[in-house]
Structure 1
Amino acid sequence: MVAKIRIEDRGCPLSAALSYVGEWWTILILHDCFDGYSRFDEFQSNIGLSSSVLTSRLTTLVERGVLERSLYQTKPARYEYVLTDLGRSLRPVLVAMAAWRNAQLAAQDRQMILVDTRTGREVEPQVIDPVSGDRVDAEHFAFTAGPAASDAMRRRYTDHDGSARPEHAVP
Protein backbone atom coordinates (compact mmCIF):
# COMPACT_ATOMS: atom_id res chain seq x y z
CA MET A 1 0.00 0.00 0.00
CA VAL A 2 1.88 3.03 -1.27
CA ALA A 3 0.68 6.44 -0.18
CA LYS A 4 -0.23 8.42 -3.29
CA ILE A 5 -0.86 11.89 -1.96
CA ARG A 6 -0.15 15.07 -3.85
CA ILE A 7 2.22 17.39 -1.99
CA GLU A 8 -0.50 20.01 -1.64
CA ASP A 9 -2.88 17.46 -0.08
CA ARG A 10 -0.55 16.08 2.60
CA GLY A 11 -2.21 18.20 5.27
CA CYS A 12 -5.72 17.20 4.20
CA PRO A 13 -7.23 14.76 6.70
CA LEU A 14 -9.17 12.96 3.95
CA SER A 15 -6.02 12.36 1.93
CA ALA A 16 -4.14 11.25 5.03
CA ALA A 17 -6.93 8.84 5.99
CA LEU A 18 -6.90 7.34 2.51
CA SER A 19 -3.17 6.75 2.78
CA TYR A 20 -3.96 4.43 5.70
CA VAL A 21 -7.09 2.66 4.51
CA GLY A 22 -7.76 3.71 0.93
CA GLU A 23 -6.97 0.33 -0.54
CA TRP A 24 -9.50 -2.44 -1.10
CA TRP A 25 -7.67 -5.25 0.67
CA THR A 26 -6.85 -3.09 3.67
CA ILE A 27 -10.53 -2.42 4.34
CA LEU A 28 -11.28 -6.15 4.15
CA ILE A 29 -8.42 -6.98 6.55
CA LEU A 30 -9.72 -4.39 9.01
CA HIS A 31 -13.24 -5.75 8.61
CA ASP A 32 -11.91 -9.19 9.57
CA CYS A 33 -10.08 -7.71 12.57
CA PHE A 34 -13.29 -6.09 13.81
CA ASP A 35 -15.02 -9.45 13.41
CA GLY A 36 -12.43 -11.01 15.75
CA TYR A 37 -9.99 -12.55 13.27
CA SER A 38 -6.29 -11.99 13.88
CA ARG A 39 -4.25 -14.71 12.21
CA PHE A 40 -2.68 -14.78 8.77
CA ASP A 41 -4.42 -18.01 7.74
CA GLU A 42 -7.80 -16.62 8.83
CA PHE A 43 -7.34 -13.48 6.73
CA GLN A 44 -6.18 -15.54 3.79
CA SER A 45 -9.12 -17.92 4.05
CA ASN A 46 -11.74 -15.19 4.52
CA ILE A 47 -10.45 -12.74 1.93
CA GLY A 48 -8.85 -15.11 -0.58
CA LEU A 49 -5.76 -12.95 -0.90
CA SER A 50 -2.40 -14.27 -2.07
CA SER A 51 0.27 -14.74 0.60
CA SER A 52 2.52 -12.08 -0.88
CA VAL A 53 -0.17 -9.40 -1.12
CA LEU A 54 -1.51 -10.24 2.35
CA THR A 55 2.01 -10.11 3.82
CA SER A 56 2.56 -6.72 2.19
CA ARG A 57 -0.73 -5.27 3.50
CA LEU A 58 -0.21 -6.60 7.03
CA THR A 59 3.36 -5.27 7.11
CA THR A 60 2.16 -1.82 6.07
CA LEU A 61 -0.63 -1.83 8.66
CA VAL A 62 1.92 -2.75 11.34
CA GLU A 63 4.36 -0.06 10.13
CA ARG A 64 1.58 2.53 10.19
CA GLY A 65 0.60 1.59 13.75
CA VAL A 66 -2.87 0.28 12.85
CA LEU A 67 -2.02 -3.33 13.82
CA GLU A 68 0.67 -4.89 15.97
CA ARG A 69 2.18 -8.33 15.65
CA SER A 70 1.87 -10.49 18.76
CA LEU A 71 3.54 -13.88 19.21
CA TYR A 72 0.95 -16.53 20.07
CA GLN A 73 3.06 -19.67 19.48
CA THR A 74 6.81 -20.19 19.83
CA LYS A 75 7.55 -23.50 18.04
CA PRO A 76 7.22 -22.69 15.26
CA ALA A 77 6.93 -18.94 15.77
CA ARG A 78 3.42 -17.78 14.86
CA TYR A 79 2.06 -14.28 15.11
CA GLU A 80 -1.35 -12.74 15.22
CA TYR A 81 -2.25 -9.23 14.17
CA VAL A 82 -4.02 -7.20 16.83
CA LEU A 83 -5.67 -3.81 16.41
CA THR A 84 -3.92 -0.95 18.18
CA ASP A 85 -5.81 2.03 19.62
CA LEU A 86 -5.29 3.74 16.26
CA GLY A 87 -6.69 0.68 14.49
CA ARG A 88 -9.68 0.43 16.81
CA SER A 89 -10.42 4.12 16.15
CA LEU A 90 -11.14 3.15 12.52
CA ARG A 91 -14.23 1.15 13.50
CA PRO A 92 -16.65 4.10 13.11
CA VAL A 93 -15.22 4.73 9.63
CA LEU A 94 -15.98 1.17 8.51
CA VAL A 95 -19.40 1.28 10.18
CA ALA A 96 -20.20 4.53 8.34
CA MET A 97 -19.03 3.07 5.01
CA ALA A 98 -21.22 0.00 5.44
CA ALA A 99 -24.18 2.14 6.51
CA TRP A 100 -23.72 4.39 3.48
CA ARG A 101 -23.89 1.40 1.15
CA ASN A 102 -26.79 -0.23 2.99
CA ALA A 103 -28.77 3.01 2.70
CA GLN A 104 -28.70 2.47 -1.07
CA LEU A 105 -30.26 -0.99 -0.75
CA ALA A 106 -33.71 -2.25 0.10
CA ALA A 107 -33.77 -3.93 3.53
CA GLN A 108 -34.18 -7.39 1.98
CA ASP A 109 -31.09 -6.85 -0.22
CA ARG A 110 -28.65 -6.09 2.63
CA GLN A 111 -26.15 -8.90 3.14
CA MET A 112 -24.67 -7.45 6.33
CA ILE A 113 -26.35 -5.20 8.87
CA LEU A 114 -25.31 -3.51 12.10
CA VAL A 115 -27.26 -4.65 15.15
CA ASP A 116 -27.33 -3.78 18.82
CA THR A 117 -26.11 -7.08 20.30
CA ARG A 118 -28.09 -6.42 23.47
CA THR A 119 -31.42 -6.29 21.64
CA GLY A 120 -30.78 -7.72 18.16
CA ARG A 121 -32.31 -4.56 16.71
CA GLU A 122 -30.84 -3.25 13.44
CA VAL A 123 -29.37 0.22 13.85
CA GLU A 124 -28.74 2.95 11.32
CA PRO A 125 -25.59 4.80 12.42
CA GLN A 126 -25.32 8.56 12.03
CA VAL A 127 -22.50 11.01 12.64
CA ILE A 128 -23.68 13.88 14.81
CA ASP A 129 -22.27 17.03 16.31
CA PRO A 130 -22.23 16.35 20.06
CA VAL A 131 -22.92 20.00 20.89
CA SER A 132 -25.98 20.63 18.71
CA GLY A 133 -27.09 17.04 18.15
CA ASP A 134 -27.37 17.84 14.43
CA ARG A 135 -26.28 15.32 11.80
CA VAL A 136 -23.00 16.54 10.33
CA ASP A 137 -24.16 15.75 6.80
CA ALA A 138 -26.58 18.70 7.08
CA GLU A 139 -25.89 21.56 4.68
CA HIS A 140 -24.92 23.98 7.44
CA PHE A 141 -21.76 21.94 8.17
CA ALA A 142 -18.84 22.60 5.81
CA PHE A 143 -15.13 21.99 5.66
CA THR A 144 -12.85 25.00 5.93
CA ALA A 145 -9.16 25.66 6.38
CA GLY A 146 -7.98 24.92 9.91
CA PRO A 147 -5.38 26.73 12.01
CA ALA A 148 -2.48 24.67 10.63
CA ALA A 149 -3.67 24.83 7.00
CA SER A 150 -1.08 25.20 4.27
CA ASP A 151 -1.36 27.99 1.72
CA ALA A 152 -2.77 25.45 -0.76
CA MET A 153 -5.44 24.40 1.73
CA ARG A 154 -6.35 28.01 2.48
CA ARG A 155 -6.66 28.72 -1.27
CA ARG A 156 -9.01 25.77 -1.59
CA TYR A 157 -11.46 27.45 0.80
CA THR A 158 -11.08 30.97 -0.56
CA ASP A 159 -12.97 32.58 -3.44
CA HIS A 160 -11.05 33.58 -6.52
CA ASP A 161 -11.07 37.21 -5.37
CA GLY A 162 -9.21 36.28 -2.17
CA SER A 163 -12.10 36.54 0.29
CA ALA A 164 -13.23 33.61 2.42
CA ARG A 165 -16.36 32.02 1.04
CA PRO A 166 -19.25 32.76 3.45
CA GLU A 167 -20.26 29.11 3.68
CA HIS A 168 -16.72 28.31 4.80
CA ALA A 169 -16.08 31.24 7.08
CA VAL A 170 -15.04 30.37 10.59
CA PRO A 171 -17.22 32.18 13.15
Structure 2
Amino acid sequence: MTIKAIGLGQSDAAIRVYVKNRPNLIQFQTLSDTLPLQAGQIAQINAEAGNGWRKVFNVYAKWLYQLAPSCLALKSVDTWQQFRDETLLQNHSQTALLFSEPDVTDPDAALHIIAGKTHAKELAANEQLGINLIWLNDEFAISPAQRIIVCPYFDYRQLNNAKIDILCELIHTHIKL
Protein backbone atom coordinates (compact mmCIF):
# COMPACT_ATOMS: atom_id res chain seq x y z
CA MET A 1 0.00 0.00 0.00
CA THR A 2 1.56 3.27 -1.13
CA ILE A 3 0.65 6.34 0.90
CA LYS A 4 0.95 9.81 -0.55
CA ALA A 5 2.85 12.19 1.72
CA ILE A 6 0.84 15.31 2.54
CA GLY A 7 2.36 18.14 4.52
CA LEU A 8 5.11 20.72 4.62
CA GLY A 9 8.71 20.30 3.54
CA GLN A 10 10.70 18.21 1.12
CA SER A 11 8.70 15.40 -0.52
CA ASP A 12 11.57 12.90 -0.29
CA ALA A 13 12.85 14.06 3.10
CA ALA A 14 15.19 11.85 5.11
CA ILE A 15 13.50 12.97 8.35
CA ARG A 16 9.71 12.95 8.47
CA VAL A 17 7.70 14.04 11.48
CA TYR A 18 4.02 13.10 11.60
CA VAL A 19 1.40 15.15 13.42
CA LYS A 20 -2.33 14.63 13.47
CA ASN A 21 -3.54 18.14 12.73
CA ARG A 22 -2.75 20.77 10.13
CA PRO A 23 -2.32 24.47 10.82
CA ASN A 24 -5.80 26.00 10.91
CA LEU A 25 -5.18 28.10 7.83
CA ILE A 26 -7.22 27.79 4.65
CA GLN A 27 -4.22 27.13 2.40
CA PHE A 28 -3.34 23.99 4.40
CA GLN A 29 -6.84 22.53 4.84
CA THR A 30 -7.00 21.38 1.21
CA LEU A 31 -3.33 20.54 0.81
CA SER A 32 -2.98 17.28 -1.13
CA ASP A 33 0.78 17.08 -1.61
CA THR A 34 4.03 18.02 0.10
CA LEU A 35 4.65 21.76 -0.03
CA PRO A 36 8.20 23.03 0.50
CA LEU A 37 8.17 26.24 2.53
CA GLN A 38 9.97 29.39 1.50
CA ALA A 39 12.07 31.62 3.73
CA GLY A 40 9.75 33.54 6.07
CA GLN A 41 6.80 31.17 5.79
CA ILE A 42 7.33 29.60 9.22
CA ALA A 43 7.12 33.07 10.78
CA GLN A 44 3.97 33.73 8.75
CA ILE A 45 2.35 30.47 9.90
CA ASN A 46 3.31 31.27 13.50
CA ALA A 47 1.70 34.71 13.24
CA GLU A 48 -1.49 33.43 11.61
CA ALA A 49 -1.98 29.98 13.19
CA GLY A 50 -0.94 30.69 16.76
CA ASN A 51 1.50 29.84 19.49
CA GLY A 52 1.04 26.07 19.19
CA TRP A 53 2.61 26.03 15.74
CA ARG A 54 5.47 28.23 16.89
CA LYS A 55 6.23 25.57 19.49
CA VAL A 56 6.09 22.76 16.91
CA PHE A 57 8.55 24.51 14.59
CA ASN A 58 10.85 25.55 17.44
CA VAL A 59 11.01 22.06 18.96
CA TYR A 60 11.54 20.50 15.50
CA ALA A 61 14.49 22.82 14.77
CA LYS A 62 15.96 22.53 18.25
CA TRP A 63 15.79 18.72 18.17
CA LEU A 64 17.41 18.47 14.73
CA TYR A 65 20.12 20.92 15.66
CA GLN A 66 20.96 18.77 18.68
CA LEU A 67 20.64 15.49 16.76
CA ALA A 68 22.85 16.15 13.79
CA PRO A 69 24.67 19.47 13.75
CA SER A 70 27.14 18.22 11.14
CA CYS A 71 24.57 17.12 8.58
CA LEU A 72 21.08 17.85 7.25
CA ALA A 73 21.93 21.25 5.83
CA LEU A 74 23.02 22.44 9.29
CA LYS A 75 26.61 23.12 8.29
CA SER A 76 25.85 26.67 7.21
CA VAL A 77 23.94 27.81 10.32
CA ASP A 78 25.13 28.77 13.79
CA THR A 79 21.94 28.32 15.83
CA TRP A 80 18.79 26.23 15.80
CA GLN A 81 16.81 29.45 15.33
CA GLN A 82 18.76 30.23 12.17
CA PHE A 83 18.14 26.66 10.95
CA ARG A 84 14.40 27.06 11.62
CA ASP A 85 14.20 30.37 9.79
CA GLU A 86 16.49 29.62 6.83
CA THR A 87 16.23 25.88 6.18
CA LEU A 88 13.59 23.85 8.08
CA LEU A 89 10.88 22.38 5.82
CA GLN A 90 12.32 24.00 2.71
CA ASN A 91 13.51 22.25 -0.44
CA HIS A 92 16.82 20.44 0.10
CA SER A 93 16.40 20.56 3.91
CA GLN A 94 15.79 16.79 4.13
CA THR A 95 12.89 17.59 6.52
CA ALA A 96 9.12 17.23 6.35
CA LEU A 97 6.19 17.78 8.71
CA LEU A 98 3.46 15.46 7.49
CA PHE A 99 -0.26 15.25 8.17
CA SER A 100 -0.65 11.97 6.28
CA GLU A 101 0.01 8.46 7.49
CA PRO A 102 3.58 7.11 7.37
CA ASP A 103 4.55 4.87 4.47
CA VAL A 104 6.77 2.37 6.26
CA THR A 105 7.28 0.41 3.04
CA ASP A 106 9.08 3.43 1.63
CA PRO A 107 12.30 2.15 0.04
CA ASP A 108 14.31 5.29 0.78
CA ALA A 109 14.49 4.39 4.48
CA ALA A 110 13.48 7.75 5.91
CA LEU A 111 13.41 8.28 9.66
CA HIS A 112 9.76 8.45 10.74
CA ILE A 113 8.98 10.35 13.96
CA ILE A 114 5.38 10.15 15.14
CA ALA A 115 4.70 13.05 17.49
CA GLY A 116 2.24 12.15 20.21
CA LYS A 117 1.23 8.88 21.87
CA THR A 118 -2.46 9.15 20.97
CA HIS A 119 -1.66 9.78 17.30
CA ALA A 120 0.81 6.88 17.29
CA LYS A 121 -1.71 4.49 18.83
CA GLU A 122 -4.34 5.51 16.27
CA LEU A 123 -1.89 4.89 13.42
CA ALA A 124 -0.75 1.54 14.86
CA ALA A 125 -4.39 0.43 15.23
CA ASN A 126 -4.80 0.71 11.45
CA GLU A 127 -3.67 -2.79 10.46
CA GLN A 128 -3.30 -1.79 6.80
CA LEU A 129 -0.38 0.46 7.76
CA GLY A 130 1.52 -2.44 9.32
CA ILE A 131 3.12 -0.34 12.06
CA ASN A 132 4.60 -2.54 14.79
CA LEU A 133 5.59 -0.54 17.86
CA ILE A 134 7.54 -1.60 20.93
CA TRP A 135 6.63 0.72 23.81
CA LEU A 136 9.68 1.58 25.91
CA ASN A 137 7.69 3.60 28.43
CA ASP A 138 4.56 5.75 28.50
CA GLU A 139 5.96 8.27 26.01
CA PHE A 140 8.45 6.59 23.68
CA ALA A 141 8.08 3.65 21.30
CA ILE A 142 10.25 2.27 18.54
CA SER A 143 10.09 0.06 15.49
CA PRO A 144 13.73 -0.14 14.39
CA ALA A 145 13.01 -2.26 11.31
CA GLN A 146 10.49 0.33 10.10
CA ARG A 147 12.68 3.26 11.20
CA ILE A 148 9.89 4.63 13.41
CA ILE A 149 10.17 6.37 16.76
CA VAL A 150 7.22 7.68 18.75
CA CYS A 151 7.89 10.61 21.05
CA PRO A 152 5.86 13.22 22.91
CA TYR A 153 4.20 15.92 20.83
CA PHE A 154 6.48 18.72 19.64
CA ASP A 155 5.70 21.16 22.45
CA TYR A 156 8.14 22.51 25.06
CA ARG A 157 6.20 21.00 27.96
CA GLN A 158 5.80 17.57 26.37
CA LEU A 159 9.12 17.22 24.51
CA ASN A 160 11.37 19.18 26.85
CA ASN A 161 15.18 19.26 26.71
CA ALA A 162 15.57 16.04 28.72
CA LYS A 163 13.16 14.22 26.40
CA ILE A 164 14.90 15.65 23.33
CA ASP A 165 18.05 14.00 24.73
CA ILE A 166 16.17 10.68 24.98
CA LEU A 167 14.85 11.03 21.43
CA CYS A 168 18.34 11.71 20.08
CA GLU A 169 19.75 8.73 21.99
CA LEU A 170 17.03 6.42 20.64
CA ILE A 171 17.82 7.51 17.10
CA HIS A 172 21.56 7.06 17.52
CA THR A 173 21.07 3.66 19.20
CA HIS A 174 18.28 2.11 17.12
CA ILE A 175 18.03 3.87 13.77
CA LYS A 176 21.41 5.13 12.56
CA LEU A 177 21.14 8.13 10.30
Shorter-chain TM-score bucket reads: under 0.3
TM-score (norm 1): 0.28
Q: Going by fraction, where is helix more abundant, 1 or 2? A: 1
Q: Going by fraction, where is strand more abundant, 1 or 2? A: 2
TM-score (norm 2): 0.27
Where relative contact order (Cα < 8 A, 6+ residues apart) is larger, the structure is 2
